[in-house]
Amino acid sequence: MLSVRNLSVGVDGKTILRSLNLEVRAGEVHAVMGPNGSGKSTLAQALAGHPAYTVTGGEVTYLGRDLLAMPPEERARAGLFLAFQYPIEIAGVSNAAFLKAAINEMRAARGQEELDAMEMLELLEKKLSLVDMDRSFLSRPVNEGFSGGEKKRNEILQMAVLEPKLAILDETDSGLDIDALKIVAQGVNHLRRTDNAIILVTHYQRILNYVEPDRVHVLFDGRIVKSAGKELALELERKGYDWIKEQPAPVQPAA
């Protein structure tokens, strides 16, 4: 589904990712872990197409297409979704209007007709219950005045509504209490199917108690330095990241 080869990315002239490799197949959940500043968010933002991140080398193939050649909205319409670490507040635009615009863009991209008001409401209500939000969330401006937990749940709501093929969650678990974490995990598990994939970018092992990953990667200094099964997350939890920093050479994941 996603094939990242020798990806190098910089921001403000500073190189963050250095020849990163990552393979994600349909049906898989990958956890990308690593200490602060290792490049986790850069990977997430670069895959979503943030214009501030400059790709200086490498290639990314997504569903057989050259992902790096696609503008952000094309990536989204092709089923790529980024749950933001810091969701943006948008004054004067209700969550409902925002979701409606996004849904109809996705539908149009798939050659489907726009949903009418009733169908839209029905869909939104169903998805709201998944993230334990009530209808009042729809009339509030996007993320404005939301608590940290509400913002993260709002990202999961958008993900649930848009049903992406590849979801990248950028530290969605950070700063959540246990109840909110369970709701987020529930949203992720709900999305998990054999025909889509999830990349969980996280600092902590905690969310992996609720969402079981197929692969765990450790990102350090812009490279994936270790990849293994879910047991790696527990090892990181126990030993911290320092032992990783002493690993001699980058480990290439199996192709």
Partner 1 sequence: MSTAIAGTNRYLAEFERLERRSSTRTPAWLAELRRAAMERFVERGFPTTRDEDWRYTNLATLAATPFRAIDSVASSPVSREAVPRPFGPNAAPRLVFLDGRYAREHSSAQSLPGGARLSSFAEAISHDDEQLLERHLAKHARWDDNVFAALSTALLEDGVLLHVPAETVIEAPIELVLLTTRPGVMTQPRLLVVAGPHSRFTVVERYVGLTDQAYFVNAVSEIAVGPGASVDHYVVQEQGASAFHMATIHADLERDSAFSTCGATFGARLARTTLGVRFGGEGGRASLAGLYVTDGRQHVDHHVTVDHAVPRCSSRQLYKGVLDGSARAVFDGRVIVRPNAQKTDAAQTNKHLLLSDGVEVDSKPRLEIFADDVKCTHGAAEGQLAPEAIFYLRSRGLNERAARRLLTLGFVREVVDRIAVEPIRGYLDRALEARLGTDSKEMR
Considering only residues 189 through 208, tell me which ones interact with partner 1, judged by CB under 8 A. none
Q: Does residue 82 touch partner 1 according to CB under 8 A?
A: yes
Query: Smaller CB distance to partner 1: residue 52 or 178?
Result: 52
CA-based angle 214:217:218, to the nearest 5?
A: 155
Instruction: Determine phi and psi for 151, rounding to 5 degrees.
Output: -60, -45
User: What's the closest the beta carbon of residue 105 comes to partner 1, in angstroms?
Assistant: 4
Which residues, including other chains, have CB under 8 Å from residue 39's CB and lie 6 or more apart?
9, 16, 17, 20, 219, 221, 222
In the three-class reduction of DSSP (H, G, I as helix; E, B as strand; rest coil), residue 73 is classed as helix
Residue 71 found at the interface with partner 1 (CB under 8 A): yes
Instruction: For residues 226 and 138, give the distance between their C-alpha atoms in angstroms, rounded to a whole number.
Output: 42
CB of 111 to partner 1, least distance (A): 12
Which residue stretches of 163-230 are H helix?
178-191
Per-residue contact track with partner 1, 150 to 179, x per CB under 8 A?
--------x---x-----------------
Question: Rule CB under 8 A: which of 85-124 touch partner 1?
Answer: 87-88, 90-93, 97-98, 101-102, 104-106, 108-109, 114
Q: Please report, for residues 47, 99, 169, 173, the alpha-carbon distance to residue 61 in angstroms, rounded to integers and kept in the order given.
A: 10, 28, 19, 27
Check residue 148 for interaction with partner 1 (CB under 8 A).
no
Of the ranges 18-26, 70-78, 130-138, 181-189, which one interacts with partner 1 (CB under 8 A)? Answer: 70-78
145 contributes a contact to partner 1 by CB under 8 A: no
What distance in Å separates the CA atoms of residue 96 and residue 127, rounded to the nearest whole number? Answer: 12
Which chain residues interact with partner 1 by CB under 8 A?
48-52, 71-73, 75-77, 81-82, 84, 87-88, 90-93, 97-98, 101-102, 104-106, 108-109, 114, 141, 158, 162
